[in-house]
């Protein structure tokens, strides 16, 4: 898979995104190789309309969540990267502690939200299939046990958090994890395959404090298992 296709698949590009390179500038040419300047991060468009996931997620929640929360993370990530560049230029590295924290927070938020949108599709009650289903059975005992574990972990995740099904290539296994904020509690080296946002902004307008009703709707009606299987295959180098 090419880098561009991989970025598209992972939901990290929006329309016309890759044009945001600083005028084709290349770095490192003096060492006999050319490295293109890194592009700015762009908020990816949703693969469906804001009201497409109703009645399980309302249009207003989707719009606010995508534009304000995910959009805010993308803006924060770009701001942080610019601040790193300015810090290097100035030679004053006293802000490193805050910027490293911001990079983890905003960068993880961007990855998790990009994954989350593409993990869902309208009107689906599909089931995991193929090799993904085999691994779910191997690592959790059964598909049903996986579903129960994922819901139990997601329902009990920190107030600002996520539930996650992830694959760890070095361990060659699937695991269910909780995420606190966007960047804490999960294991170094995992690739998120399926994530459920349980920050209140993800469900409060529709479900108020009934988080488990939101997670049950996610599990029962919204998961695009083809997307999850594609991520699994990519994470395994397929």
Is the Cβ of residue 26 or residue 156 nearer to Mn ion in the bound state?
Answer: 156
**Smallest distance from the beta carbon of 98 to Mn ion, in angstroms?**
22
Is the Cβ of residue 102 or residue 197 nearer to Mn ion in the bound state?
Answer: 197
Is the Cβ of residue 117 or residue 232 nearer to Mn ion in the bound state?
Answer: 117
Q: Which residues pair with 27 in a beta bridge?
A: 35
State the distance between the two ends of the chain, measured CA to CA, in whole angstroms: 9
Is the Cβ of residue 140 or residue 203 nearer to Mn ion in the bound state?
Answer: 203
Q: Computed over its alpha carbons, how large is the radius of gyration of the chain?
A: 19
**Smallest distance from the beta carbon of 113 to Mn ion, in angstroms?**
6
**Smallest distance from the beta carbon of 56 to Mn ion, in angstroms?**
16
**Smallest distance from the beta carbon of 112 to Mn ion, in angstroms?**
8
Is the Cβ of residue 112 or residue 176 nearer to Mn ion in the bound state?
Answer: 112
Q: Which of 238, 234, 237 has its CA nearest to residue 192? A: 234
**Smallest distance from the beta carbon of 74 to Mn ion, in angstroms?**
12
Q: Which residues pair with 197 in a beta bridge?
A: 162
**Smallest distance from the beta carbon of 170 to Mn ion, in angstroms?**
28
- Residue 161 contacts residue 199 (beta carbons within 8 Å): yes
Is the Cβ of residue 140 or residue 199 nearer to Mn ion in the bound state?
Answer: 199
Nearest position to Mn ion, beta carbon? 197
Binding site for Mn ion (CB under 5 A): 69, 197, 199
Q: Which of 193, 172, 176, 174 has its CA nearest to residue 185? A: 176
């Amino acid at each position: 898979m090419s880098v561009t296709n991989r970025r598209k698949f992972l939901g990290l590009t929006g329309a016309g995104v890759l044009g945001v390179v600083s005028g084709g500038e290349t770095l490192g040419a003096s060492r006999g190789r050319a490295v293109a300047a890194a592009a700015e991060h762009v908020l990816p468009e949703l693969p469906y309309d804001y009201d497409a996931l109703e009645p399980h997620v309302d249009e207003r929640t989707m719009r606010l969540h995508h534009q304000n929360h995910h959009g805010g993370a993308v803006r924060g990530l770009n701001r942080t990267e610019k601040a790193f560049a300015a810090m290097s230029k100035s030679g004053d590295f006293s802000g490193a502690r805050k910027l490293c924290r911001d990079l983890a927070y905003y960068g993880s938020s961007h990855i998790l939200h990009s994954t989350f949108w593409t993990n869902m599709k309208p009107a689906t009650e599909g089931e995991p299939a193929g090799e993904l289903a085999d691994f779910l059975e191997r690592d959790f005992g059964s598909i049903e046990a996986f579903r129960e574990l994922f819901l139990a972990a997601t329902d009990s995740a920190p107030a600002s958090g996520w539930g996650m099904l992830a694959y760890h290539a070095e361990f060659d296994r699937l695991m269910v994890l909780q995420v606190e904020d966007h960047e804490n509690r999960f294991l170094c080296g995992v690739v998120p395959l399926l994530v459920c946002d349980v920050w209140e902004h993800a469900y409060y307008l529709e479900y108020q404090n009934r988080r488990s009703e939101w997670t049950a709707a996610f599990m029962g009606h919204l998961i695009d298992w083809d997307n999850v299987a594609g991520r699994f295959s990519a994470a395994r180098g397929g």
